Chain A
Amino acid sequence: MYFDSFQALLTMNGHGIYVWPAYLVTIVVITALLIAPMRRRSRVLRQLAGELKRAQSASDSGAKGER
């Protein structure tokens, strides 16, 4: 490791206040980029599963043999 202490890593000779926010924002944006499509996909699937279930129970409670 280049830095001698945790303190040195944090401050980076005065450049820490620039380097760390740059990395933090990058990580936050990347995380959001990865999570957004996962959530959208599971939302669509949940919604569809709900619709299918309702359609299923409607046809079950209705006339038998009609499908």
Chain B
Amino acid sequence: MWTFFHKLGSPPWLYAIAGVVLRWLLPITLIALVGGMIWGVLFTAPDFRQGNSYRIIYVHVPAAVVALAGYYVMAIAGAVSLIWRIKMADVVMKAAAPVGAALAFIALFTGAVWGKPTWGTWWVWDARITSMLILLFLYLGVIALYEAFDNKEAAGKACAVLSLVGMVNIPIIYKSVDWWYSLHQPASIKFTGESTIDPSMLYPLLLMIAAFYALFTCCLLMNMRAELLQRESRTQWVKKIAAKEGKR
């Protein structure tokens, strides 16, 4: 167990193991994404109240769910790098930010496009939507803050603090549809009690949520690999990889 944690701190080991995981996970992710989208768009019946516009759910909900989950990854990695000074945690934090930002953007964009036929407006300053916009700004803030520092160690610390402070936004997003009267509908999938969504719509949605989690993992690992190569470019193991793969 401890050797595992010890190895996690080793850049060449992390680089190699991430490569092995990606070789399997990346094709599976792409198949799941394409399959889930085709299933959701072509092979499900329309919602009896919203008609065909509800098909946006298959990209909107997974993107929103994983954008939130990604924030945990970023903030926890930030905490680990602050407390235990583990450099690899800093790599994880930096790798998670752009992926989370992109997913939050997808959730907001598809939400706006879905809002037009459903609510009659692209945008409302509703609690759920506003807190989601703040999530996007938190991700962008972490990215910008990292670039603003020349000293990358100080940058890592500042970003870790920002992402931890931003954690207060997470429960607000979760509870916003219950706390405030809102246009946004409450969650249809519940861990406790009956889900208020038909199984024929639920299964492709669950597939898409799983696919987006896998997508996040793939992007995180790929960003980490690129980051590791750049940070460790003076070391022997990176030079070995560059000599082998850099010629192409």
Contact = CB atoms under 8 A, between A and B. Distances in A.
B231 to A, nearest CB: 10
Given A12-B52, A22-B113, A48 B99 contact: no
A48 B239 contact: yes
A15 B99 CA distance: 29
Interface of B: 33, 37, 41-46, 51-53, 55-56, 59-60, 63, 98-99, 102, 105-106, 109-110, 113-114, 116-117, 215, 218-219, 222-223, 225-226, 229-230, 233, 238-239, 241-243, 245-248
A10 B247 CA distance: 45
Nearest to B63: A26
B223 A37 contact: yes
A48 B233 contact: yes
Query: Main SS of chain A's interface residues?
Result: helix
A9 B229 contact: no
A25 B106 CA distance: 7
Contacts of A49: 242-243, 245-247
A37 B225 contact: yes
A48 B242 contact: yes
Contacts of B99: 33
A45 B46 contact: no
A54 interface: no
Contacts of B243: 49, 52
Given A13-B52, A44-B226, 10 more contacts: A13-B51, A19-B41, A19-B56, A22-B60, A41-B225, A42-B248, A44-B229, A48-B239, A48-B242, A49-B246
Rank and list the top 3 A-B pairs by shortest CB-CB distance, nearest first: A49-B246, A48-B242, A37-B222
B43 A16 contact: no
Contacts of A38: 222
Interface residues of A, number: 35
Interface in A1-32: 1-3, 9, 12-16, 18-19, 21-23, 25-26, 29-30, 32
Contacts of A34: 218-219, 222
A64 interface: no
Given A25-B106, A33-B219, A48-B239, A19 B42 contact: no
A21 B219 CA distance: 23
A41 B248 CA distance: 12
13 contacts: A1-B42, A1-B43, A12-B55, A15-B51, A16-B52, A18-B116, A33-B215, A37-B226, A41-B225, A44-B233, A48-B238, A49-B242, A50-B246
